[in-house]
Amino acid sequence: MTRRLPGARHLLSVADLDAAGVRELLDTAAEMHLVQRRDVKKIPTLRGRTVINLFFEDSTRTRSSFEIAGKWMSADTINITGKGSSTSKGESLRDTTMTIASMGVDAIVMRHHASGAAHQVARWLDELGTGTSVINAGDGTHEHPTQALLDAYTVEQRLGSLAGRHVAIVGDVTHSRVFRSNLVSLRLLGARVTVVAPPTLMPSGARAWAERDGFTLSHDLDAVLAGTHAPVPDVLMMLRVQHERMSGGYFPTPREYTVGYGLTRDRLATFTAASPEGVICHPGPMNRGLEIAADAADAASSLVLDQVSAGVAVRMSVLYHLLASGEGAAA
């Protein structure tokens, strides 16, 4: 198995990868998932490596899964939060990250509220010449590459190849970095994508973007579920309504949003009848009763917990390809 994606030091965007690179990461994730199912979940692959999880935004799934991934691969994994770093005392992001990298760490997994922060940190560290890898764990409304990879992995584990499958991404796409990363990964894997959102939550310039990248836009979730203009989706990817990023009234009331764009009990029944093998995804955390009903979140077709499980395997795969060297396999 290749130890390192060709030429890769960082993972900042899904656009850093080609189709072969995505496939290699997903294939390795399948092997890592076997490790995850063992009674003793420990392999020596990253022994002697140090991984810093540097999170300036709250996180449960991403931070925990990166920590578990590193520890199961025998890396020394350390968590640092924004409130626990010197940035809370006024230190700049540049000084904080360069200080950490100067300690000889091998990778910084970083989440930050500013779009482009991970790219900037990677440039600083490359200039410093530390050799430290940067993994983007979510930067503002820009990208969340490992989430897109785990979404693809999860769906393919249930449905097989994504090539030719129809994926509907529904909800608050304006503020969603998950949406942006998934657009790239799904296109690379050959899926057909429909983006569904109210006009107030559709990104500026979306029409030109859709024409350039080959996805479809809709403001009518019920028409999409009915297969009015395209085949009924194989995958419904519901996005969280990100109240914390909203500074104004993007919709009149939560109830009105649910009526128009929520995966309600009635819409779940419609989807299940039209697409019996169809699956439901959500990157979490879920606003139950807003963008997704409890019946849908807990349905047999829901892959929400499968996504959480896949998150560890995919992040093991990313760490493996960026950091592993010499002998030491995933088996």
Binding residues for carbamoyl phosphate: 61-62, 111, 144, 147, 284-285
The dihedral built from the CA positions of residue 100, 58, 178 and 199, taken in this order, carries a sign that is negative
Provide the 3-class DSSP secondary structure of residue 227: coil
Peptide bond into 285 cis (omega under 30): yes
Provide the 3-class DSSP secondary structure of residue 261: helix
Separation of alpha carbons 24 and 331, rounded Å: 16
Contact 179, 202 (CB under 8 A): no
Separation of alpha carbons 193 and 182, rounded Å: 10
Please enumerate, by residue number, every residue annotated as part of a binding site.
61-62, 89, 111, 144, 147, 177, 240, 284-285
The residue among 52, 5, 45 whose CA lies nearest residue 24 is 5
Separation of alpha carbons 32 and 13, rounded Å: 22
Separation of alpha carbons 319 and 324, rounded Å: 7
Please enumerate, by residue number, every residue annotated as part of a binding site for L-aspartate.
89, 177, 240
Alpha carbon of residue 10 to chain centroid = 16
